[in-house]
Structure 1
């Protein structure tokens, strides 16, 4: 690609003669918030300046905020049944294993659907896929509204499946959205905030169901509680769908960074991208290590209610709150890690440090779970969640670095597909070990897997291709 890039006006028209001119006014610093108003007197104006022709728009924050809320509305339904597993089994008369599948269906549907979803994202852009995902999340939530009768659990499971299928238009979006809308000095932070939305939803999914659906009460009272919970979620997802339909945009009128500009100009072939990714040594190692880390978190989250009640009978709300503090701590860790990456660009070192700390956190959680003081379990959960959830955006960004200029949606899509496979396998293994060899050995097995993941991460070479592209530009 020629180093002299064509600049673009606010209406997206290319000025062929603009290789010597810049789109920013002379007094505008690089990446300053600029709002271009189509049809204004400034539209199409080019001015000689020394600054780079890349700028960001204030719209990016609204786009990111809408995505965060949309992502949260989907992920909050992930543990909607499992965190109150004892109530669901008693009310609907179904097995605990079937309730666990309401969580695992998120993982199962993701694997086959992520490839067409990634292809659609690369072809149609962020707006179309986000609208589809928001619509599916809304429809699935409304199906659950009609599943309150005790013989209608199958309909609730169907609604959960529709919501789970919609997840394929969410998990792989944060690095893509960050790259399309944010400048090079904010892209990691934006990605971490995008992941923050998913974690916010998981946190709400841990805490709200035990608060709304009472573990004790008559069948009629429990049914009324389910009705309130389902209507609440359906109402929120409906409002978000309308907002996304009205305000969510696919991309800004001008690229925010050199890497985004060069990446958007490449004619990417989806199958060719997959082939390149699968022959990228660093990416394959990251797939394994990332899958182990997030798979462990999925296993713990799915069976947290069972794990806590094993040592603290009757602590239904505490199980939800422990999940909440674990995720909230991870949300803080995600944002902090994003800021660190933007400031230092030390992707390999940050990834390795956070991964190793996750393993340490899991060891602490393992040996404090049965201490008899539930407050200690809260503290160990904070430590575990801070690093394990904080690792999510770090892994995303490291993957984008070592695979550039392959589309971020494809890169993160495959990453999450592997996560779902690991999540299913580790959840089934963890569930079996909890009943067969008790929790201590089950948790120690997860600790060993995190240690293995740390060693694999150490073997990844810091081939930061996106940073190199920015520096070259």
Structure 2
């Protein structure tokens, strides 16, 4: 009998008796008819329906064979295909009319299943990793809260004289407002990793914004009362400073949760970029034109912090489906290698015993520490050579712009190339060269040279920041991303604070010009040389990337094994639906004829 559609899952072995229609269905009318119930996991069971022998003596209209299941369902993942065997009345009409239906489609909806269906099942077992649009919206508000932190940090540094006059304090006291931030960062960083694990990314960011807002409004109280209170101002400064490590150290943890592997460095690049400093360099002098405008300046900063905090209340804690299947804490279904759960103490000790992480810690800490020290002392290093505050402000602003461009370029390049170590070895000598150049360009009538050298210096060192942070995540595996990042930034702030104190000791009060920091510039270049040296010898393994590759390979192997297992199980119960229907028709025709003869 010709036919076109067959229900065939997989070609069975040639020696298997189930490949023969005659063998599988050559049954006496009084014996069993069989059907297969095939399940997703390849567990197939044979069900039999025993004919009642005395039913063969009933009338022709009801003398058809035993009850046959009218439908079978094969479920593959989320798809469902149904095919139906004929019921009693349909079979009786076909046989008693002497017209055996030639087209098996009359009885069956053939299952279009094979390896493709099973493969789709394995592939769809886990949703495809993706970056949801809301992740970019959330990233925007993280950048906004980071900008608010930077504006807070640079509230008074562009206007030190006006602030000191308004508060009735010295410039050294104004400098301690800046130093307080570094101390708070070091202390608070001890707890950020625990905080992320305890309350999650969403509420950590909200807490950061809340602390920042409270501290900024306390500063407003300090300048609102008469006379202004420096202790209250310092209290608000201290509270608000605690928000900085929470919102900065979270960059890798946030990127892992919300962004796919090829977008994480880009996301981190936006978070670490110092947009707020650029805004503060131009906004603060524009608002605080006199000491009577200090209160307005503080209100503007507090309002920005409050507005940046509120949106985090309305964001989800995590995306609908994972952005990536990174190495998880428990063994995966596919049997991939698992990432062990480490306590905070265990993770810290593991990092401190990791020589590759220690080398990277030196590189990142010296790089960021030099940036902190230079930005803090740049005014004092350049001013003795006759440059005005306006010119120094322009040099600082252009430097921040250069650093921002460095971060903006670094992230996408890392994501595209994945050549972290190569980029580190390229940028570190360029960074080193700019610090050497500063020794020679910081002099009288050299404004343009200082401006461009400082811009290039900030560009190269900022380019290295995402590279080092991503490398920290890679070489510290299986330690959590938040812990390695927190330690990198914590030690960097400590080194920066120390370098400021040490470089200030090189001030030449009797030199030419007076109070110059020429020796400090030489010391600064020497420290940059140490950073360059360790960058050249660094060769840490990409442990996290390798672990992910092993996991993906294991998952693919497990999926393929499941496909083979399922198809092998299906092949054991292989049959052709059209042949089955033909045999059923012929059998029931014979039974009907036999019954009619008995009646006669």
- TM-score, scaled relative to structure 1: 0.83
CA distance, structure 2, for counterparts of residue 258 and residue 282 of structure 1? 25
Q: Deviations over 1:215-240 (max 9, x none)?
A: xxxxxxx2322122111111111111
Instruction: Map residues 160-239 of structure 1 onto 2, 5 A cutoff.
Output: 160-196=237-273, 199-214=274-289, 222-239=290-307
Is 1:119 matched up with 2:187? no
Classify the secondary structure of the residue corresponding to 2:153: coil
Which has the greater radius of gyration? 2
Classify the secondary structure of the residue corresponding to 1:241: helix
Is 1:392 matched up with 2:465? yes
CA distance, structure 2, for counterparts of residue 464 and residue 224 of structure 1? 55
Note the C-alpha offset of 1:432.
Answer: 2.6
1:471 aligns with one of 545, 549, 553: 549
Partner of 2:538: 460
**Contact 2:163/2:294 (8 A) holds in 1:** no
Partner of 2:323: 256
2:521 aligns with one of 408, 418, 443: 443
Classify the secondary structure of the residue corresponding to 2:248: coil
Note the C-alpha offset of 1:128.
Answer: 1.7
- Assess, with a 3 A threshold, how the Cα gap between structure 1 residues 336 and 384 changes in structure 2: closer, same or farther: same
Q: Deviations over 1:270-293 (max 9, x none)?
A: 211111111111111111121111
2:371 aligns with one of 297, 300, 304: 297
- Assess, with a 3 A threshold, how the Cα gap between structure 1 residues 353 and 21 changes in structure 2: closer, same or farther: farther
Instruction: Map residues 344-423 of structure 1 onto 2, 5 A cutoff.
Output: 344-423=417-496
Q: Deviations over 1:286-315 (max 9, x none)?
A: 1112111111111111223333433235x2
CA distance, structure 1, for counterparts of residue 199 and residue 470 of structure 2? 23
Partner of 1:64: 139
Note the C-alpha offset of 1:168.
Answer: 2.2
Give structure 2 stretches of 5+ with no counterpart.
1-39, 42-74, 79-118, 331-337, 553-600
Aligned residue pair count: 423
More deviation, 283-292/78-87? 78-87
Partner of 1:92: 167
After superposition, the CA RMSD in angstroms is 2.5
Q: Which one has the bigger helix percentage?
A: 1
Classify the secondary structure of the residue corresponding to 1:125: helix
Instruction: Map residues 122-141 of structure 1 onto 2, 5 A cutoff.
Output: 122-141=197-216
Note the C-alpha offset of 1:321.
Answer: 2.6
- Assess, with a 3 A threshold, how the Cα gap between structure 1 residues 145 and 419 changes in structure 2: closer, same or farther: same
**Contact 2:252/2:268 (8 A) holds in 1:** yes
**Contact 1:211/1:317 (8 A) holds in 2:** no
2:314 aligns with one of 241, 246, 250: 246
Instruction: Map residues 296-335 of structure 1 onto 2, 5 A cutoff.
Output: 296-313=370-387, 315-335=388-408
Note the C-alpha offset of 1:210.
Answer: 2.6
CA distance, structure 2, for counterparts of residue 261 and residue 55 of structure 1? 17
Q: Which runs of 4+ in 1 moved over 4 A?
A: 20-23, 49-52, 260-266
CA distance, structure 2, for counterparts of residue 143 and residue 322 of structure 1? 32
Note the C-alpha offset of 1:403.
Answer: 1.0
Give structure 1 stretches of 5+ with no counterpart.
1-15, 24-45, 215-221
Classify the secondary structure of the residue corresponding to 2:478: coil
**Contact 2:249/2:486 (8 A) holds in 1:** yes
Q: Deviations over 1:213-266 (max 9, x none)?
A: 23xxxxxxx23221221111111111111112223x332132212326569975
**Contact 1:354/1:388 (8 A) holds in 2:** yes
- TM-score, scaled relative to structure 2: 0.66
CA distance, structure 1, for counterparts of residue 164 and residue 202 of structure 2? 39
- Assess, with a 3 A threshold, how the Cα gap between structure 1 residues 22 and 413 changes in structure 2: closer, same or farther: farther
More deviation, 384-393/61-70? 384-393
Partner of 2:349: 275
- Assess, with a 3 A threshold, how the Cα gap between structure 1 residues 205 and 432 changes in structure 2: closer, same or farther: farther
**Contact 1:210/1:317 (8 A) holds in 2:** no
**Contact 1:179/1:260 (8 A) holds in 2:** no
**Contact 1:333/1:390 (8 A) holds in 2:** yes
More deviation, 179-188/139-148? 139-148
Q: Deviations over 1:47-85 (max 9, x none)?
A: 637587322211110111111110110122223223322
**Contact 1:21/1:49 (8 A) holds in 2:** no
Note the C-alpha offset of 1:316.
Answer: 2.2
